[in-house]
Amino acid sequence: MRIRRCAVLWLEPHEETGFDLEALLAGGTGVTSRMRWLAHVPTADAPVEVDMEDVALLGAVSPNDWLAASALRDRHGAGRVRRLLRAGLLVGSTKAWAEQRARDEALRELHWHGLAASYHAGSRWEGIDAAGEVEEAGLHHAEGLRRAYGVPPPMLHERADGGAFTALPRAPRNAFDGVLDARASCRNFDAGKALSLGQLAQVLERAFGERGRVRGADDFDVLKRTSPSGGALHPVECYLIARRVDGLAVGLYHYRPGEHALQALPMDGAQILAGAGKHAAAAGKDALDYLAWIAVGGQEYFADAHALCVLAPRFRRNYWKYRNHPKAYRVCILDVGHLSQTLLLSATEMGLGSYVTAAINEADIERAFGLTHWIDGPLAVCGIGPRRGEMDTYELDPNRKVWPR
């Protein structure tokens, strides 16, 4: 058998601190620390703890050139080599290691930049009730934040080294200014009303629809959307959790911009609900309601949206051109920002509530929609729907455009 290192590997020296009462009674500080090495591989489910000999082995093996396994076994021991193969840190050439090798090769074929791939994988959530944790810590209001973190940085940044000011003319107001001023993240959706299919269709078309196409080559078309995209590649896909849309069956969908159509996707309710038992707030929810709730990190006011749009780039689309490029992942994030703002403004112009959040459980969303995070992983979720007539959950609306009372 031959062996090489996995395509992308980040080794983190990680310090863990704890409290030791005996050390405190003996005259010390009572604070103990332990250094660990964690190996981060984008295709692994979690970081892998390694020791110093593992680090030396991994640092000496090429991620590109294959070498004889016998040499590594003789130098480091067969058990150590087998453990690193099982973890996916080393890649073996034989059938026994085909699964780990296939995952590694799939990542190689996408041409991720190493640090970007590690960050993308390491920043994903699974099964996190972020709203519950914020509530428990008392950080859900300004007073709690102020007590916990002190005074925030100034809202307006003043440059001490700056010169004189140049006053700028105010633009004359028009209807578009009214839309901009009325855009406020909605936390009060009206469950008693349905979002019409026509309203949903208009928002999806304006945000994600194909507005034009240019033939770049015989087998290469360039898409036009209302938002810009790095290299005009438009990698971001929209996946839909439809809950209360008049004229559309509840379920999961994929938006097809070329046809301006929604394609129904299979939904495994038992798989979606597999982790629901550990959340008291999830009691009584069916699979679709639980998916909406866990998708937005337990933010119930966002889960109440009539339709939730998952924004997930197809990284192969961007990295086909920007291979191993340090800016390619940033461009995907920018694309999601552009598209979400267009979606929010489109919904606002129609009198609908909307929001965008990055506090999402990517792993739960990926399982529900059949996505793989390094191939087409979600970065944000947007929601739309009719607002309630009263503000039960606080919304930030400084100009009182949405809630004039």
Domains of the chain: residue spans and CATH: 2-110 (no CATH), 175-386 (3.40.109.10)
The residue among 375 and 33 whose pLDDT is bigger is 375
User: Torsions phi, psi of 369, nearest 5?
Assistant: -100, 0
Query: Looking at residue 151, what is its pLDDT?
Result: 87
Long-range contacts of 58-61 (CB under 8 A, 24+ apart): 58/5, 58/9, 58/11, 58/84, 58/89, 58/90, 59/11, 61/3, 61/4, 61/5, 61/90
367-380 average pLDDT score: 97
Is residue 173 a contact partner of residue 228, using CB atoms and an 8 Å limit?
no
Rounded-to-integer distance, Cα 168 and Cα 381, Å? 36
Residue whose C-alpha is closest to residue 276's, from 364, 380, 383, 373: 364
Query: Looking at residue 399, what is its pLDDT?
Result: 84
Average pLDDT across the chain, whole number: 93
Over the stretch 185-233, which tens digit does the pLDDT of each residue have?
999 999 999 999 999 999 999 999 998 888 877 777 888 899 999 988 9
Letter string b/e over residues 344-354, b meaning 16 or more CB atoms within 10 A of that residue's CB: bbbbbbbebbb
- Which residue in the block uniquely carries the two structure tokens 């680090």? 55
pLDDT at 325 exceeding the cut of 90: yes
pLDDT at 371 exceeding the cut of 80: yes
Over the stretch 91-150, which tens digit does the pLDDT of each residue have?
999 999 999 999 999 999 999 999 999 999 999 999 999 999 888 888 777 888 888 889
CB atoms within 10 A of CB 28: 11
Rounded-to-integer distance, Cα 330 and Cα 163, Å? 33
Residue type present at position 249: A
Over the stretch 32-87, which tens digit does the pLDDT of each residue have?
788 899 999 999 989 999 999 999 999 999 999 999 999 999 999 999 999 999 99
User: Torsions phi, psi of 113, nearest 5?
Assistant: -75, 135
Rounded-to-integer distance, Cα 4 and Cα 320, Å? 24
> What is the DSSP secondary-structure string of 176-235?
HHHHHHH--B---B-TTSPEEHHHHHHHHHHHHS--EEEEEETTEEEEE-SS--GGG---
pLDDT at 25 exceeding the cut of 80: no
Query: Looking at residue 20, what is its pLDDT?
Result: 77
Over the stretch 140-180, which tens digit does the pLDDT of each residue have?
778 888 888 898 888 888 888 989 999 999 999 999 999 99
- What the block records as the tokens of 372 is 């793989």
Rounded-to-integer distance, Cα 59 and Cα 118, Å? 17
- Write the burial class of residue 210 (CB in 10 Å: 0-12 exposed, 13-18 middle, 19+ buried): middle
Rounded-to-integer distance, Cα 240 and Cα 207, Å? 13
CB atoms within 10 A of CB 134: 18
Query: Looking at residue 216, what is its pLDDT?
Result: 73
- Which residue in the block uniquely carries the two structure tokens 């099982």? 86
- What the block records as the tokens of 173 is 């107001």
- What the block records as the tokens of 152 is 């925030």
- The percent of residues in the chain predicted with pLDDT above 90, rounded, is 80
